[in-house]
Structure 1
Amino acid sequence: MRIARFALFRTRVTPLEAFHVVILRVGSRYSVNMTPVTLEREAFVLRPPSSGDIDAITEACQDPMLLHWVPLPVPYTRAHAAEFVPQVTDAGWRNGTACTWVIERAGELAGMISLNDIDQGSASIGYWAARSHRRTGTVTAAGQAVLDFAFAPEPHGLGLSRVEWRAHTGNRATAAVAQRLGFTFEGIARSAGVIRGQRRDEWMAGLLSTDDRSPADWHL
């Protein structure tokens, strides 16, 4: 699972009255100032992280499987989570480069999902699930909601043209989610990822706003 700057993360999106976008021309680049958005579904809620999530994030990030695939500090402490919420997630919303959500299910933190590196109509997606919420379909459903939001035209979404997915080779659980979301496998980026000083190859996949999002066999 890959979440950019993660220093510690088939329902349709309805119109989002709380979402406001201001496009500012800066050379050849666009800057987006975003008000944090909450996406509500029957089974879960996607909402921006808050200080009330720090303990749950800290607990989830003790999981050996998560530590194996995500470039987290080891040991992961409460101080890391306390820094992550304001300095990474809040800043991403504020400067328009990233949207990060807690996946809340039955009152618990079920995982996190984010759109990162938002620029010129593209972004990358990252996600992880807390141990007790894996194999429940929650992350896949959350991904569908986030992609609906990513591709929805302004002012109801980001109006993106492309979302990219990457994960370290061998991370089949995360790859299975991306495959179910309709991503097209695009190849291997050699030695493109780093976890605790060790370089790793990465699988790459992409999804366009014009794709039908039907799952396809990746033949991994």
Structure 2
Amino acid sequence: MQPVTLESARVRLDVPTRADTAAITAACQDPDVVRWTTIPTPYRDQDARTFVDALVGPGWASDREYTWAIRRPGSTWLDGIISYRTAGRDLGFWLAPSARGAGLMHHAVELVVGWAFDRGAHDVYWECYAGNTASASVARRAGFSYTGTGDARVPGRDGGPTPAWTGLRRADGTAASAQAWPTTA
């Protein structure tokens, strides 16, 4: 598939490029991004270039994973990343510290989930490593139902199983679960 741009009044999603290397590298120095993702650590410019060259472009070309840069309207600066993986119909995302608290991730999730539903997905899955209250808050606010705790689909940086909070949002709007979100989320 050719990359698509998604946008609203609050956020613009387009394809990250090598021009975003500095922004990606800077954001991936944040202890929270390191803690809650499996990015290489320490994260270098070469890692950002490899991400763009080996994951972003091939992901779109193979219809395996669609990755967008999160930007504010009118800005070229990358504030974060959001991806939708087709095999598991699941989301992954992170936001730079300077962009947190502005609602950008909520709007990005709404755009990507709506796009996935428009393309025929009957549901979208979300997970985060247990304890990532910021990610859980975004998912809850975006209408995901909490479906429990289990081993993460994406293993920890050491390759081993990692406990994850999971959620699901259905295209028809029905709740996927009546379970309460963790009290810390």
Task: Give the alignment's TM-score, normalised by structure 1.
Answer: 0.75
> Does the 8 Å CA contact 1:140/1:177 hold for their aligned counterparts?
yes
2:59 to 92, 110, 121: 92
- Residue 127 of structure 1 is matched in structure 2 by 93
Bigger fraction of residues in strand: 1
> Does the 8 Å CA contact 2:18/2:52 hold for their aligned counterparts?
yes
1:41-56 equivalence runs, <5 A: 41-56=8-23
1:58 to 14, 25, 33: 25
Q: How far is the alpha carbon of 1:194 from its aligned partner?
A: 3.0
CA distance in 2, matches of 1:36, 1:54: 19
Q: How far is the alpha carbon of 1:67 from its aligned partner?
A: 0.4
User: Structure 1 residue 146 and structure 2 residue 112: aligned?
Assistant: yes
CA distance in 2, matches of 1:192, 1:89: 20
SS of the aligned residue for 2:89 comes to strand
CA distance in 2, matches of 1:58, 1:184: 33
User: Which blocks of at least 5 consecutive residues in structure 1 are unaligned?
Assistant: 1-33, 153-157
- Residue 207 of structure 1 is matched in structure 2 by 169
Q: How far is the alpha carbon of 1:219 from its aligned partner?
A: 4.0
Higher alpha-carbon deviation: 105-114 or 159-168 = 105-114
User: Which blocks of at least 5 consecutive residues in structure 2 are unaligned?
Assistant: none
Q: How far is the alpha carbon of 1:43 from its aligned partner?
A: 2.4
SS of the aligned residue for 1:195 comes to coil
1:112 to 81, 103, 114: 81
Residues 89-148 of structure 1: CA deviation (Å, up to 9, x unaligned): 1111000011100001152211111101x14xx510111110001111110011111111
- Residue 181 of structure 1 is matched in structure 2 by 142
CA distance in 2, matches of 1:68, 1:185: 22
Task: Name segments (4+ residues, structure 1) moved above 4 Å.
Answer: none
SS of the aligned residue for 2:81 comes to strand
CA distance in 2, matches of 1:44, 1:178: 17
CA distance in 2, matches of 1:219, 1:64: 23
- Residue 133 of structure 2 is matched in structure 1 by 172
Higher alpha-carbon deviation: 199-208 or 133-142 = 199-208
Task: Give the alignment's TM-score, normalised by structure 2.
Answer: 0.89
> Does the 8 Å CA contact 2:71/2:79 hold for their aligned counterparts?
yes
Name the larger-Rg structure: 1
Bigger fraction of residues in helix: 2
CA distance in 1, matches of 2:92, 2:34: 15
Aligned residues: 177
Q: Aligned-residue CA RMSD in angstroms?
A: 1.8
